[in-house]
Structure 1
Amino acid sequence: MLYLCLLFLTTTAAQIPSASQQPSPPTDIFLLAGQSNMAGRGGVTNGTLTHQPTWDGVVPPQCSPTPYILRFAADLTWVEAREPLHADIDFLKTNGIGPGMPFANAILMDKPGGRTVIGLVPCAIGGTSIKEWQKGSNLYNHLLSRAEASVLRGGKIKALLWYQGESDTENAEDSELYGGRLKKFLTDIRSDLKIPLLPIIQVGIASGEGEYKEGVRRGQFGIDLVNVMIVDALGLPLEPDGLHLTTPSQVRLGGLLAHAYRRFPSHPLATPLTNAAPISTIISTFLLSIWWIFTFLFPFVVNYFYLI
């Protein structure tokens, strides 16, 4: 409750500066939501003396800042993105490297120089369950309001990157119900954003706070919504806590997310998501087959039986 009160004060009390004080608005906007591994704990370990979580401050080249990657701050302004992306969002925790910056830098490489500005909208909160993200909850409303505010100066929401589920591994019931709850959340957020086919990339969890990880993973991989993909974090190295991805793992995950995003049809480098042919192609092939049968095959059969 204390967190939610502070979050409300942080996001509503700040005054939005004039447009002249802000950088150019982004053209392509990506929502980052979920829990701690999306917020980023790469490089965060307990200090040997204080036993308090500290970030080592190491920023890999794939996470380097650029004027063409912006971050939507807690005060609803666009600023140049720098690690840790979630420092003013998941502010009750110690944040480090997450997948957002390596994802954005990878996507930026696909775009014409100087014509694309990527906007990242951090919304992830560590330690949260899927029940806390359902429609009507504070976290859901926070995500929705930040998403809506992010497009007020222009730009288009291109995708939602979702990494959550570790908290739902603590008991069997939450684990088994995860898939249905996740599907409802994704369906609701698309509906409320009025983007029914919004591309969504979720991350298959690599770890969990409890013993029921496999139930959550079954729910994740069982989602049957259009334009929803999954990349698997299983096997990526973890920090000593056994729960959070290391900095190199987060960099790798950012690349996997970028590769998945490139497969969506709206992306300039997209390849087909499935091998299914369009209905027009199917109809044309069927009609062509009928024409071939009556033009070539049918006369041949008639002549054959006539000769017999």
Structure 2
Amino acid sequence: MQINSGLLNKAVLQRNNKGICDLEFAGTCESTGRVALLTEKSEHNSKPKNIMCSGSAARGKFTGTLKGLPAGGPYNLKIGIIDKDGKVLESTEVKDILVGDVWILAGQSNMQGYGSLADAPRPNPAVRAFFMNDEWDTSEEPTHNLSDAMDPVHGGRRDGRRTKPNNTPVGASPGTAFGIAMFERTGVPQGLIPCAHGGTSMEQWSPSLKSKGGHSLYGAMFRRFIKNGSKVAGIAWYQGCSETDSQERARVYTRKMKAFVRAIRRDFQSPDLPIVVVQIGRLISKRLPDTWLSVQDQQRKFQQTIPNCFVVPAVDLDLDDIVHISGASQGVLGKRIAQAMAVLKGIKNSGKPPIVLKEIKCIQNAIGNESKIAIVFDNVSGKLSSSGRANGFSLGTPEPTPSITHTEAKNNMVIIRSVLPANTVSGMFVSHGAGIDPYVNVFDSDNRPLPAFGPIPVGKPLIDTSFVESLQVSKALPLKGDIANVSYPKSKKVLNFEKTDSLPNTHFFNLSKGKFNSDSELYAFFLCQLECSERMKVKIGVGYDGPVKVWINSKDVFCDPNGINPCSIDKALLPATLPKGKSEILIALSSNKGKAWGIKLRISRACSETINPFELENVKGPKILG
């Protein structure tokens, strides 16, 4: 008689919400009869109450059900096949069983573990792992010895032997640290079922490959799940780096992840199975691909889009190479996963769910043209703080633009100050933890970091076509009365327009030493012509240092009769819808008796807030004709 699934030596069995283990087991035999529990002993040789066992054996196979085994242990169980007269025909003993919580560990290399083993946590007898050779033992790193694996997909020897980590320098995963932290939070034994494999993609983890069994990652995971009683408490998942290899993989990542979660919950017959996803962390590289940020930001959103799923950050953690989390930081990550999982499981005094981004607000400073961006977070424990300046934040289009003067963590938000005005910033993108090897240092009172995010539009994003550097300027004309009284010219020919370039590196069209070189009250027209490949919404940013009036395609759209210095970028940001084909922008500026010098001008295409920031290069703005 041999048990092949459900009851294995040294196994940790999954308890139910009453703290009791009920499970099915199966195996092979030579007899026909009834399956029964012959003897059972706990650690103190006391007989657990109310344990029931039933089942049947025939045609070389048997199945059985065990009910009522309390959390704790260890237990030694003797299972037998008896005939109708009560005679034991054959039996087997399962030794050193614990009852508690069982977890699937899956994903790619950072869950498999590449951290230094010198920093791995010490084993705890209450935490065990179902190693890759299909045997249970006290959990120690590395938990994923793929060379020992019984499933062909992992490329192991498949001989049932386990390699000891005597001379292996790396292999630390978050698994053992996670198990120890969960034991400390629950007080019951913890079992880990490692299933990860480095360098693997969502395509390789596809549930559609389940029928291939151990020849596929999903099939191998499912086989190990079935072998251990078909019940687990949840899944810890760290994967996503491989999805950054191409735009196509990144584009369909969320869809594949949602399908993966649905399949697991269906096949594990647990519709609310808790899942904690680790957001991919840092990458040390000469260039960070857009797809890396895309996958990070998609993962951030899982907490709102996938039920019973939390996401924990890793962007703050140390590395042992260009991408793999260090052995010491794997210990930190294991505890971080455990805290999130404990909240998902409803364990008392576990704190709050992982921090999530709530909203981004931009406000104009009361003094000057600077702006403030308030990034507000939910689930903050206590308050946010940083050691020194709050680091890791960037503002751009979406490429970072040097404009941030100060960042500060305050209560449940981070305040960013920018030299740019609010109407400019509202068309830009903000990020956290982006770029090559970012450094982040904002944590809440429980030492939990902010997630990596972005690029996220502050308002409605703009496709910047850069500043207008060449346009046409009319001759200076005497101004009678207010600039508001200036009408759109009936004929432009009499205005003697001539091509004028902006001053180098300033974007400023300066008339102070030419047309406005007088103390008389004058004005001049600035004419910019442009062409659109299709009908499009735009924002026209006008900087000016004197009274000004603006027409778009001959329509009066803006007037500031009290305009004064300075000539700041986007002092007026004017929305407009331009038709396909050619359009014009006409600006009249008063010399303000020599106090006004000129203008700055730029045209940006307005986009939907839901646009993928990594596809902005495919969106074209107006062509500036001058």
Q: Which TM-score applies when normalising by structure 1?
A: 0.70
| Kept after mapping to 1: 8 A contact 2:186/2:347 | no
Q: Deviation at 1:272? A: 7.1
Shift of the 222–98 alpha-carbon distance from structure 1 to 2, 3 Å rule, reads: same
Show structure 1 runs of 4+ deviating over 4 A: 16-22, 89-95, 270-274
Whether 2:224 is the aligned partner of 1:146: answer: yes
Q: Which of 188, 193, 205 is the matching residue for 2:268?
A: 193
Query: Alpha-carbon deviation of 1:142?
Result: 0.9
Q: 1:261 aligns with which of 329, 341, 348?
A: 341
Separation in structure 1 between the aligned mates of residue 128 and residue 311 of structure 2, nearest angstrom: 25
More helix by share: 1
The structure showing larger relative contact order (alpha-carbon pairs under 8 Å, at least 6 residues apart) is 1
Aligned to 1:204: 279
Q: 2:111 aligns with which of 38, 53, 78?
A: 38
Pair 1:213 & 2:271 matched:
no
Which residue among 3, 10, 24 is the counterpart of 2:97? 24
**Alignment equivalent of 1:229, drawn from 310, 316, 321:** 310
The amino acid across from 2:340 in the alignment is: A
Aligned-pair CA distance for 1:59: 4.3
Change (3 A) 1:23 1:80: farther
**RMSD value, Cα:** 2.6
Q: Is contact 1:264-1:270 (8 Å) kept?
A: no
1:107-141 per-residue CA deviation (whole Å, 9 max, x = no partner) reads 111233xxx21100000001100111111321111
SS in 1 for 2:343: coil
Equivalent of 1:243, from 323, 342, 348? 323
Q: Which residue of 2 aligns with 1:76?
A: 134
- For residue 86 of structure 1, what is the aligned residue in structure 2? 144
| Corresponding position of 1:46 | none
Alpha-carbon shift at residue 22 of structure 1 (Å): 4.5
> Match of 2:140, SS?
coil
**1:79 Cα deviation from its structure 2 partner:** 1.5
> How much does 1:222 deviate?
2.5
Q: What displacement does 1:267 show?
A: 2.5
Deviation at 1:262, TM superposition (A): 1.8
Q: 74-83 or 183-192: which moved more?
A: 74-83
Aligned equivalent of 2:405: none
Contact kept in structure 1, 2:310 and 2:353, CA below 8 Å: no
Q: Is the 8 A contact 2:118 2:169 kept in 1?
A: no
Residue pair 1:204, 1:220 contacting (<8 A) in 2 also: yes
Identity %: 29
- For residue 136 of structure 1, give the secondary structure of its aligned residue in structure 2: helix
Corresponding position of 1:172: 247
Amino acid at match of 2:274: P
TM-score between the two structures when normalised by the length of structure 2: 0.36
Equivalents in 2 of 1:268, 1:151: separation in Å?
27
Cα gap change, 1:159 to 1:151, in 2 (>3 Å) = same
Describe the SS at the equivalent of 1:131: coil
Matches within 5 A, 1:57-68: 57-60=117-120, 63-68=121-126
Distance, in Å, in 1 between the alignment partners of 2:235 and 2:173 is 15
Which letter does structure 1 place at the counterpart of 2:98? P
State the alpha-carbon separation in 2 of the partners of residues 150 and 111 from structure 1.
Answer: 21
- Where structure 2 has 5 or more consecutive residues not aligned to the other structure, the ranges are 10-77, 79-91, 157-167, 210-215, 355-626
| Letter paired with 2:130 | F
Q: 1:263 to 1:94 in 2, by over 3 A?
A: same
Q: Quick one: distance in 2 between partners of 1:35 and 1:94?
A: 19
Give the Cα separation in 2 of the matches to 1:219 and 1:266: 26
Q: Secondary structure at the match of 2:307?
A: coil
What is the CA deviation profile of residues 177-223 of structure 1, one whole-angstrom value per residue up to 9, with x for unaligned ones? 11111111011111100000000000000146972201111221232
Native 8 Å contact 1:39 1:95 kept in 2: no
Confirm whether residue 118 of structure 1 aligns to residue 196 of structure 2: no
Aligned residue pairs, count: 238
Distance 1:271 1:234, change over 3 A: closer
Q: Which amino acid aligns with 2:228?
A: S
Q: Deviations over 1:132-169 (max 9, x none)?
A: 111132111111111122226xxx51110000011111
1:67 and 1:80 in contact (8 A); partners too? yes
Determine the C-alpha separation between the residues in 1 that align with 2:319 and 2:126: 30
- Given the superposition, is the C-alpha separation of residues 141 and 94 from structure 1 closer, same or farther in structure 2, using an over 3 Å criterion? farther
In structure 2, distance between residues paired with 1:59 and 1:247: 5
Shift of 1:95: 5.3
How far residue 91 of structure 1 moved from its aligned partner, in angstroms, is 6.7
| Paired residues of 1:28 and 1:157 also in contact (CA < 8 A) | yes
Between structures 1 and 2, the one with greater strand share: 2
Match status 1:99 vs 2:159:
no
